A and B are shown apart, each in its own frame.
Chain A
Amino acid sequence: MEGMNIKKLEDIRNEISKARVDQKTCITVCGGTGCHAYGCLKVAQAFKDEIKKQKLQDSVGVRTTGCHGFCERGPIVVIQPGGIFYQRVQIKDIKEVISETIINKKILDSLLYVDPKTEEKIIYEREVPFYKKQERIIFGNNGFIDPTEIKDYIALKGYSAIAKVLRNMTPQQVIEEIKKSGLRGRGGAGFYTGLKWEITSKSQEDIKYLVCNCDEGDPGAYMDRSLLEGNPHSVIEGMLIGAYAIEAKEGFIYVRDEYPLAVKNITIAIDQARDYSLLGEKILGTDFSFDISISKGAGAFVSGEESALLACIEGKIGIPKQRPPYPAQKGLRGKPTNINNVETWANAPIIINEGAKKYSQTGTNGSKGTKIFSLVGKINNTGLVEVPMGMTLREIIFDIGGGIPGGKEFKAVQTGGPSGGCIPKKLLDLPIDFESLTEAGSMMGSGGMIVMDKNTCMVDVAKYFLNFLRDESCGKCLSCREGTQRMWEIVTDITEGKGKEGDLDFLEALAKATRDASMCGLGQTAANPVLSTIRHFRDEYEAHIRDKKCPAGVCKELIQYSIIEEKCTGCLACLKVCPQEAISGELKKVHVLDQSKCIKCGGCYEACNFDAIKIE
């Protein structure tokens, strides 16, 4: 754009805002990956077609936005202004939404969210319990922005933080502000962001690099993807602020291969930012120049580790290096490199706009601001939730997450991905921050929260993570390569009824050796899933070892399916699905399961509508 500068950016913002004052009705359709999978694009298209058919184009718009977070209820449609919240919207509903809600201003009861606790129908998004307790400072704009449209971001104060920085602040002042805010890295370890920037900025090297880490490898965590997909300009703006502070001219965004939509949206966003002179030479007419390129991962968990990630960008295999020297001293191509995670970058514009003082009023003593968690697993309201640091697990799981499906008993929550641990029921009132999670034997990680109920076997969970880690260990350190493998073998034996006395002591010793002798974070934390489950669920391990029983009914070798005679109605459902013909019987007569033929596939348990299949 010709002659772009700070003043002109403000003019453009005013223009866009003015045009939107007498804003027409806007139907926003969530376009996150979850809703994509539910078919939101077809829903959005159907809205557009219907609006055209009814000749309403001039008064009603349709916008496919970033992720709204409430993935459980997708496809989500919110009608602005006002915020009428419709969930699980299907193509067949669209005609009615237009004719009733848009034209006749009537609410469609059938599409409203029903609070399962009060059975009350809820009309507005902000009143849905899932959103009520959240504080969505990072994530809130997702629902208003079409991520492929830079004007949407600019209209919501977008790029005003970098304008402020370029106009009024020195690089040192920016670093001081970030330091004062108390912001800590959201990628896992929780290092102070301002301090990290300062180390890189102090280097005397001419060339410095900036990297945004979106190698979100923790299974069950997807907030970084949702930010990059849903509000990519906030990440670009954060990187601009960082680049100005440490005086870097070149930046990279490293994205996982499994995130095609994120790659697409950030690519569009970078192009648009260049058009608006927000990336490239002489940004907004100043002497500051910075540009970003995208580097796509190729599927390796360990490449999220800083030094491994840099190797990937250089086209090598992603194996970590010994630190020090840290990337801040000697990183990409041997030059000082500052790496932060997606969510961390997205925090920077907010700190600059609101001021460190206001920002740091949210959170706990050691952990400031909010954190986005992905609340998944055995939970009613699966989705992404953003809460102030210090909220208790109970509030997150029961007030926001709506508790466990089927009213089953809560057993544990796993945080921190494969490096984290399981937190038991007795710690439900734990206020969540970096320190408290570490004390409980887990860690913050990137914010995955996998909820488990009484049907989840904790030994099986430990086995799951060990299998993951032995597969993803790069193999450089013997302690990690062999340690994860041996721990997996022992835990596998336990789940197969071959565990013996002394296994747990040996596991603990092996876990500590793996932790102490490994070079990078993967090996150093690989023992957490085992140690935390032994610490909090020792009795469950002992039941497997001593009694050869799996109390949760998961470990195949230790369980048996059988038919409860009193409950069996003789409906033939289980008989039909059994691949082994292990179930025999006639209509309306109690069925019989032949143990010698059963392969424990679980098909009958799933098929039975009368809870007549027992696992023990």
Chain B
Amino acid sequence: MIVDKCKSKLLSTKNVSKNFGGVLAVDNVSIEVHENKITGLIGPNGAGKTTLFNLITGLTKPSSGEFFLLGKKYSPFKIHKVVEKGIARTFQNIRLFNNMSVLENVMVGRHVKTNFFSMGIFSSLFRITTYNNCENKQKEICIRILEKVGLLEKKDLMSSNLSYGDQRRLEIARALACEPKILALDEPAAGMNPTEKIKLKKLIKELLFEKVTILIIEHDVKLMSDLCDHIYVMDRGKIISSGKPTDIKNDKKVIKAYLGGTSK
């Protein structure tokens, strides 16, 4: 069994690559996500950030490389198994369950934390006390999560009726419901106005305070510099720079990638 010794390293990838019929979308990428820290992934469009996310969370199969969670090797081949192991994500283009209320969306996230016996078919059919208790407990947990993200008053609204910013926060709430060890956010601030971005930053900092580890892709370099403890910069599938936000800002390679020349 391959074990990684560093205790605070929650997630790491080693030499991960993804080849899309000749195009190397992710090229030999090794990153580390440390416990209770915010790790950022930035880079120009098409750099491979979302692909890397998809590789880590099981949406895409890697062409090569290894993945480690809590020191143990894992194969991110089934999306729901990745969630079971402790990584929950949000999507760049918001994927909510439109015909469900806000609360129900979050309740879906509890699926992985409830089991078949207390809440399975037979118990739900006969509505035995254990089932009712469990269901109520889950509701309470979800309500607390909604409170945390600031959506409590809107809990019975249809998710499709929420504002854009609220929908993003709902998606985060749903991911939090999975009680993940790592919360992976794919461009959570995309399309937000400055006020909403400030609220988002506040939320993420609060989550950090509650011992959630965060991996985040974003374009807003200022937002990332304020938030992240460690940033990886990707360009054309490779990691071209990594370090603290202040170091990244002055890295010539990074400046070149953003200003001079396009990727892909």
Partners in one complex: no
